[in-house]
Amino acid sequence: MAVKAGEAYQAVERSGAGPIDINFLVNRLESMINSARRVPLSSRVMLEEEELLAIVEEFRKAVPEEILSARKVLKDREQILKNAQAEAEKIVTMARERAEYMINQEGVLYLAKERGEQVLSDAQRDAQQMHQEIDQYAVDVLSNLEQQLQSQLHQVRNGLTELNGGQYSRQ
Q: What angle, rounded to 10 degrees, do the helices at 22-35 and 109-163 form?
A: 20
Quick check: 107 pLDDT over 60?
yes
> Which secondary-structure segment (H or E) carries 38?
strand 37-38
Instruction: Please give the average per-residue pLDDT across 127-140, as a whole number.
Output: 90
Q: Where are the domains of the chain?
A: 5-163
pLDDT of residue 14: 33
CB neighbours of 70 closer than 8 A, spacing ≥ 6?
141, 142, 145
pLDDT of residue 170: 62
pLDDT of residue 81: 85
Tens of pLDDT, residue by residue over 62-94, are 777 777 788 888 888 888 888 888 988 999 899
Q: Which of 25, 30, 22, 23 is nearest to 67 (CA)?
A: 22
Phi, psi of 43 (to 5 degrees): -95, 15
- Render 97-113 in DSSP notation, one character per residue: HHHHHHHHHH--HHHHH
- Going by pLDDT thresholds of 50, 70 and 90, the confidence category of residue 169 is low
Instruction: Please give the average per-residue pLDDT across 107-132, as a whole number.
Output: 85
Quick check: 109 pLDDT over 50?
yes
Quick check: 13 pLDDT over 70?
no
Range with top average pLDDT, 50-54, 101-105, 107-111: 50-54
Total-model pTM: 0.36
Average per-residue pLDDT for the chain: 80
Tens of pLDDT, residue by residue over 25-43, are 889 989 988 998 988 888 8
> Which secondary-structure segment (H or E) carries 72?
helix 49-106
Instruction: Please give the average per-residue pLDDT across 147-154, as a whole number.
Output: 91
What is the C-alpha to C-alpha distance for residues 166 and 32, in angstroms, rounded to an integer?
A: 17
